[in-house]
Amino acid sequence: GQQLNQSPQSMFIQEGEDVSMNCTSSSIFNTWLWYKQDPGEGPVLLIALYKAGELTSNGRLTAQFGITRKDSFLNISASIPSDVGIYFCAGQGPGGTSYGKLTFGQGTILTVHP
Amino acid sequence: EAGVAQSPRYKIIEKRQSVAFWCNPISGHATLYWYQQILGQGPKLLIQFQNNGVVDDSQLPKDRFSAERLKGVDSTLKIQPAKLEDSAVYLCASSLDAGSYEQYFGPGTRLTVT
Protein backbone atom coordinates (compact mmCIF):
# COMPACT_ATOMS: atom_id res chain seq x y z
CA GLY A 1 0.00 0.00 0.00
CA GLN A 2 0.90 3.66 -0.08
CA GLN A 3 3.42 4.80 2.53
CA LEU A 4 4.66 8.22 3.55
CA ASN A 5 8.08 8.81 5.07
CA GLN A 6 8.45 11.87 7.24
CA SER A 7 11.74 13.38 8.29
CA PRO A 8 13.15 14.20 10.64
CA GLN A 9 11.48 11.98 13.25
CA SER A 10 12.14 14.59 15.93
CA MET A 11 13.58 18.08 16.25
CA PHE A 12 14.86 20.08 19.20
CA ILE A 13 15.18 23.79 18.47
CA GLN A 14 15.49 27.13 20.22
CA GLU A 15 12.65 29.60 20.25
CA GLY A 16 12.95 31.96 17.29
CA GLU A 17 14.58 29.42 14.97
CA ASP A 18 13.06 28.33 11.68
CA VAL A 19 11.98 24.71 11.17
CA SER A 20 11.78 22.55 8.06
CA MET A 21 10.31 19.08 7.72
CA ASN A 22 9.35 16.99 4.75
CA CYS A 23 7.35 14.04 3.60
CA THR A 24 8.16 11.71 0.71
CA SER A 25 6.41 8.84 -0.99
CA SER A 26 7.07 6.32 -3.72
CA SER A 27 3.52 6.94 -4.93
CA ILE A 28 1.92 10.00 -6.50
CA PHE A 29 -0.57 11.94 -4.42
CA ASN A 30 -3.27 14.33 -5.63
CA THR A 31 -3.57 16.22 -2.35
CA TRP A 32 -1.21 16.89 0.52
CA LEU A 33 -2.27 18.05 3.97
CA TRP A 34 -0.34 18.99 7.07
CA TYR A 35 -1.75 18.44 10.57
CA LYS A 36 -0.52 19.25 14.09
CA GLN A 37 -1.41 17.10 17.07
CA ASP A 38 -1.09 18.23 20.67
CA PRO A 39 -0.91 15.66 23.50
CA GLY A 40 -4.31 14.16 24.25
CA GLU A 41 -5.98 15.83 21.29
CA GLY A 42 -6.86 14.96 17.73
CA PRO A 43 -4.89 16.29 14.75
CA VAL A 44 -5.72 19.83 13.66
CA LEU A 45 -5.53 20.77 9.99
CA LEU A 46 -2.86 23.40 9.27
CA ILE A 47 -2.54 23.60 5.50
CA ALA A 48 -4.05 21.82 2.47
CA LEU A 49 -2.33 21.66 -0.94
CA TYR A 50 -4.13 20.67 -4.12
CA LYS A 51 -1.79 21.32 -7.05
CA ALA A 52 1.75 20.24 -7.88
CA GLY A 53 4.13 23.13 -7.24
CA GLU A 54 1.61 24.96 -5.04
CA LEU A 55 3.07 27.05 -2.22
CA THR A 56 0.63 28.01 0.55
CA SER A 57 1.10 29.99 3.75
CA ASN A 58 -0.86 30.11 6.98
CA GLY A 59 0.69 32.70 9.28
CA ARG A 60 4.22 31.54 10.12
CA LEU A 61 3.66 28.23 8.34
CA THR A 62 4.47 27.63 4.68
CA ALA A 63 3.94 24.36 2.84
CA GLN A 64 4.73 23.24 -0.69
CA PHE A 65 3.35 20.49 -2.91
CA GLY A 66 6.34 18.96 -4.72
CA ILE A 67 6.50 19.12 -8.49
CA THR A 68 6.83 15.33 -8.76
CA ARG A 69 3.67 14.97 -6.60
CA LYS A 70 5.65 12.54 -4.44
CA ASP A 71 6.72 14.96 -1.73
CA SER A 72 5.74 17.93 0.38
CA PHE A 73 7.52 20.33 2.70
CA LEU A 74 6.45 22.31 5.76
CA ASN A 75 8.38 25.28 7.09
CA ILE A 76 7.71 27.11 10.35
CA SER A 77 9.37 30.50 10.75
CA ALA A 78 10.36 32.14 14.04
CA SER A 79 9.23 29.21 16.20
CA ILE A 80 7.47 29.85 19.52
CA PRO A 81 6.86 27.50 22.48
CA SER A 82 3.27 26.75 21.40
CA ASP A 83 4.60 25.22 18.18
CA VAL A 84 5.50 22.16 20.25
CA GLY A 85 3.66 19.05 19.10
CA ILE A 86 3.64 16.33 16.50
CA TYR A 87 3.34 17.33 12.85
CA PHE A 88 1.83 14.86 10.40
CA CYS A 89 1.72 14.94 6.65
CA ALA A 90 -1.14 13.18 4.89
CA GLY A 91 -1.70 12.42 1.25
CA GLN A 92 -4.68 11.48 -0.85
CA GLY A 93 -3.93 9.24 -3.80
CA PRO A 94 -5.06 9.16 -7.40
CA GLY A 95 -7.76 6.95 -8.86
CA GLY A 96 -7.86 3.43 -7.52
CA THR A 97 -7.83 4.50 -3.90
CA SER A 98 -10.91 5.37 -1.91
CA TYR A 99 -12.24 8.80 -2.61
CA GLY A 100 -11.23 10.96 0.35
CA LYS A 101 -8.99 8.32 1.95
CA LEU A 102 -5.86 9.82 3.52
CA THR A 103 -2.55 8.10 4.19
CA PHE A 104 -0.60 9.59 7.11
CA GLY A 105 3.12 9.81 7.75
CA GLN A 106 4.57 8.71 11.07
CA GLY A 107 4.97 12.26 12.35
CA THR A 108 7.72 14.71 13.29
CA ILE A 109 7.99 15.54 17.00
CA LEU A 110 8.90 19.19 17.52
CA THR A 111 10.32 20.49 20.79
CA VAL A 112 10.95 24.22 21.21
CA HIS A 113 13.22 25.41 24.02
CA PRO A 114 12.42 28.91 25.33
CA GLU B 1 -19.40 25.80 15.08
CA ALA B 2 -19.08 22.77 17.32
CA GLY B 3 -16.31 20.33 16.45
CA VAL B 4 -16.31 16.56 16.28
CA ALA B 5 -17.39 15.07 19.61
CA GLN B 6 -16.23 11.71 20.92
CA SER B 7 -16.89 9.71 24.05
CA PRO B 8 -15.59 8.33 26.25
CA ARG B 9 -12.20 10.05 26.29
CA TYR B 10 -10.52 7.15 28.11
CA LYS B 11 -11.35 3.49 28.54
CA ILE B 12 -9.52 0.67 30.26
CA ILE B 13 -10.70 -2.90 29.71
CA GLU B 14 -9.36 -6.41 30.04
CA LYS B 15 -8.59 -8.52 26.99
CA ARG B 16 -11.56 -10.42 25.62
CA GLN B 17 -13.98 -7.76 26.91
CA SER B 18 -16.10 -5.58 24.62
CA VAL B 19 -15.97 -1.82 24.18
CA ALA B 20 -17.85 0.79 22.17
CA PHE B 21 -16.93 4.32 21.13
CA TRP B 22 -19.29 7.06 20.03
CA CYS B 23 -18.76 9.92 17.58
CA ASN B 24 -20.86 12.92 16.61
CA PRO B 25 -19.48 14.68 13.52
CA ILE B 26 -19.61 18.34 12.62
CA SER B 27 -23.16 19.30 11.67
CA GLY B 28 -23.75 18.91 7.94
CA HIS B 29 -20.71 16.73 7.31
CA ALA B 30 -21.72 13.76 5.19
CA THR B 31 -18.47 11.80 5.47
CA LEU B 32 -17.29 10.22 8.69
CA TYR B 33 -14.03 8.35 9.34
CA TRP B 34 -12.73 6.15 12.14
CA TYR B 35 -8.94 5.97 12.58
CA GLN B 36 -6.73 3.93 14.84
CA GLN B 37 -3.58 5.66 16.10
CA ILE B 38 -1.01 3.46 17.81
CA LEU B 39 1.52 5.28 19.99
CA GLY B 40 4.31 6.76 17.88
CA GLN B 41 2.48 6.34 14.58
CA GLY B 42 0.19 8.34 12.35
CA PRO B 43 -3.54 7.63 12.20
CA LYS B 44 -4.58 4.61 10.15
CA LEU B 45 -8.01 4.56 8.52
CA LEU B 46 -10.33 1.81 9.76
CA ILE B 47 -13.59 2.71 8.05
CA GLN B 48 -15.13 5.53 6.01
CA PHE B 49 -18.86 6.30 5.81
CA GLN B 50 -20.65 8.47 3.28
CA ASN B 51 -23.97 9.33 4.95
CA ASN B 52 -25.03 5.93 6.34
CA GLY B 53 -23.22 3.80 3.74
CA VAL B 54 -19.75 2.27 4.02
CA VAL B 55 -17.27 3.58 1.43
CA ASP B 56 -14.13 1.80 2.61
CA ASP B 57 -13.65 -0.77 5.37
CA SER B 58 -10.73 -2.59 3.80
CA GLN B 59 -8.50 -2.10 6.87
CA LEU B 60 -11.14 -2.89 9.49
CA PRO B 61 -10.46 -6.21 11.30
CA LYS B 62 -13.97 -7.44 10.72
CA ASP B 63 -13.63 -10.51 12.92
CA ARG B 64 -13.63 -8.24 15.97
CA PHE B 65 -14.37 -4.67 14.89
CA SER B 66 -17.72 -3.33 13.72
CA ALA B 67 -19.04 0.15 13.03
CA GLU B 68 -22.34 1.67 12.11
CA ARG B 69 -23.81 5.03 11.21
CA LEU B 70 -27.49 4.20 11.08
CA LYS B 71 -29.06 7.63 10.52
CA GLY B 72 -26.15 9.20 8.70
CA VAL B 73 -25.11 11.34 11.66
CA ASP B 74 -23.71 9.72 14.82
CA SER B 75 -21.52 6.65 14.60
CA THR B 76 -20.38 3.89 16.93
CA LEU B 77 -17.28 1.72 16.68
CA LYS B 78 -17.24 -1.56 18.61
CA ILE B 79 -14.51 -4.03 19.45
CA GLN B 80 -15.52 -7.50 20.55
CA PRO B 81 -13.47 -9.22 21.91
CA ALA B 82 -10.57 -6.85 22.52
CA LYS B 83 -6.94 -7.90 22.24
CA LEU B 84 -3.85 -6.35 23.81
CA GLU B 85 -2.77 -4.98 20.42
CA ASP B 86 -5.99 -2.94 20.20
CA SER B 87 -4.54 -0.49 22.75
CA ALA B 88 -4.49 2.78 20.84
CA VAL B 89 -6.24 6.09 20.38
CA TYR B 90 -9.39 5.84 18.26
CA LEU B 91 -10.01 9.02 16.33
CA CYS B 92 -13.18 10.07 14.60
CA ALA B 93 -13.04 12.62 11.78
CA SER B 94 -15.57 14.18 9.46
CA SER B 95 -15.54 16.11 6.21
CA LEU B 96 -18.17 17.94 4.23
CA ASP B 97 -18.25 15.12 1.72
CA ALA B 98 -15.90 12.50 0.29
CA GLY B 99 -14.65 15.00 -2.27
CA SER B 100 -13.42 17.33 0.47
CA TYR B 101 -10.05 16.10 1.68
CA GLU B 102 -10.04 18.48 4.62
CA GLN B 103 -10.91 16.21 7.50
CA TYR B 104 -11.60 17.52 10.99
CA PHE B 105 -10.75 15.31 13.92
CA GLY B 106 -12.27 14.79 17.34
CA PRO B 107 -10.17 14.52 20.51
CA GLY B 108 -10.07 10.72 20.35
CA THR B 109 -10.70 7.88 22.79
CA ARG B 110 -7.63 6.38 24.41
CA LEU B 111 -8.17 2.63 24.86
CA THR B 112 -5.97 0.54 27.10
CA VAL B 113 -6.41 -3.23 26.98
CA THR B 114 -4.83 -5.09 29.90
User: A93 pLDDT band (50/70/90 cuts)?
Assistant: confident
Q: Would you say B24 and B94 are in contact if contact means Cβ atoms under 8 Å apart?
A: no
Q: Would you say B84 and B15 are in contact if contact means Cβ atoms under 8 Å apart?
A: yes
In B, which residues are within 8 Å of A40 by CB distance? 107-108, 110
Model pLDDT, residue B1? 66
Q: Would you say B46 and B77 are in contact if contact means Cβ atoms under 8 Å apart?
A: yes
pLDDT digits (tens, 9 = 90+) for A58-89: 999 999 999 999 999 999 999 999 999 999 99
Nearest to A101 among B40, B45, B102 (CB): B45
Model pLDDT, residue A97? 55
Nearest to B48 among A4, A42, A101 (CB): A101
Please work out, in degrees rounded to the nearest 5, the angle formed at the alpha carbon of residue B4 by the alpha carbons of B50 and B13.
95
Model pLDDT, residue B2? 83
Q: How close A18 comes to chain B (CA, Å)?
A: 24
* Whether residue A95 has pLDDT greater than 60: no
* Whether residue A31 has pLDDT greater than 60: yes
Model pLDDT, residue B101? 76
A33, B43: Cβ pair inside 8 Å? no
E strands present in chain A: 4-7, 10-14, 19-25, 31-37, 44-49, 55-58, 61-65, 71-76, 85-92, 102-104, 108-113
pLDDT in tens, chain B (114 residues): 689 999 999 999 999 999 999 999 999 999 999 999 999 999 999 999 999 899 899 999 999 999 999 888 999 999 999 999 999 999 999 999 877 778 999 999 999 999
Over range A30-46, report the average pLDDT: 94
The residue of chain A nearest to residue B103, with distances taken between CA atoms, is A45
B91, A42: Cβ pair inside 8 Å? yes
The C-alpha torsion from B26 through B24 and A2 to A44, rounded to 10°, is 50
* Contact residues, A window 79-108, toward B, CB-based 8 Å cutoff: 88, 90, 92, 98-102, 104-107
